[in-house]
């Protein structure tokens, strides 16, 4: 059975992708701070509770996974804070940079050799902020632009192998991402994305002929909308 490692597995886009990849016949290792096996109710799902914004925990995870056979890595875990840059705490800046950018690079480093050997897939769940710029999003946009650049570079680096590398850039998607922010997605169907839309993109990537690769996949809502919290 093919094996996938998916971060951010406990909620939102990551959880939806885990469900979809399980349906596609993969064994899934789901990683987050709070994920449990009981959430998925299948023997083909294994949970690993790891704080990927912590360097020591992430390096320990990489050492655990390094000698395992893996066919796919989906880097989905991440968070954002959107404030004037001078109002961000140092911890917020370092945690966001590590979780959104450093951890995916470390996990890819640990699993790249086996994924190349298995003609596998590396999929980065990025953000629309990787290709556009918004005020109050300097650190978040920098991490996502960096992750996109990393994926683009690896695509070129690994083209002699059978590895497929894709950056997915979703617009605002209904999830817990906005729980601690001052704004939320719109409640209108045509002004937001659903986590299932991103899972559809992953399924499309995996269904394609192996000789063709969608290296960048941008998904946007038909209309733009945002909701301010009271």
**CATH code of the domain covering residue 139:** 3.40.50.720
Pick left, alpha or beta for residue 41 (phi over 0 → left; psi -120 to 50 → alpha; otherwise beta): left
- pLDDT tier at 186, thresholds 50, 70, 90: confident
What is the three-class DSSP state of 184? strand
Domain hosting 215: range is 3-228
What is the three-class DSSP state of 17? helix
Cα separation, 118 vs 125, in Å, equals: 21
Angle, CA of 64, 66 and 71, to the nearest 5°: 115
Q: The pTM is what?
A: 0.95
Output the pLDDT for position 59.
Answer: 98
Nearest to 81 by CA among 141, 169, 13: 141
Token pair 């990849």 in the structure block, residue: 21
Dihedral pair phi/psi, residue 209, rounded to 5°: -55, 135
Segment 111-128 mean pLDDT: 97
Residue 31 has pLDDT above 90, yes or no: yes
List, for residues 8-18, the tens digit of each pLDDT value: 999 999 999 99
What is the three-class DSSP state of 32? strand
List, for residues 61-90, the tens digit of each pLDDT value: 999 999 999 999 999 999 999 899 999 999
Tokens, residue 13 = 């886009």
Domain count, the chain: 1
Residue 69: other Cβ atoms inside 10 A: 12
């Amino acid at each position: 059975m093919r094996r996938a490692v998916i971060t951010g597995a406990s909620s939102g886009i990551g959880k939806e992708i885990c469900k979809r990849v399980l349906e596609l016949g993969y064994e899934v290792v789901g990683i987050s701070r709070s994920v449990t096996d009981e959430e998925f109710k299948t023997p083909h799902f294994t949970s690993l509770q790891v704080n990927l914004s912590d360097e020591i925990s992430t390096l320990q995870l990489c050492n655990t996974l390094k000698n395992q056979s893996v066919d796919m890595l989906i880097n989905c875990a991440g968070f954002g804070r959107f404030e004037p840059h001078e109002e961000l705490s140092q911890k917020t800046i370092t945690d966001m940079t590590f979780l959104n950018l450093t951890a995916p690079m470390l996990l890819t480093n640990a699993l790249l050799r086996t994924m190349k050997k298995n003609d596998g897939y590396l999929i980065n769940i990025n953000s629309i902020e990787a290709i556009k710029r918004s005020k109050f999003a300097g650190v978040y946009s920098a991490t996502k632009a960096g992750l996109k650049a990393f994926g683009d570079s690896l695509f070129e680096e690994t083209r002699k192998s059978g590895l497929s590398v894709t950056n997915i850039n979703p617009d605002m998607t209904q999830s817990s991402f906005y729980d601690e922010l001052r704004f939320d997605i719109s409640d209108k169907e045509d002004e937001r994305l659903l986590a299932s839309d991103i899972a559809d993109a992953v399924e499309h990537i995996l269904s394609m002929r192996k000789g063709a690769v969608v290296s960048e996949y941008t998904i946007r809502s038909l209309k733009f909308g945002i909701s301010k919290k009271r």
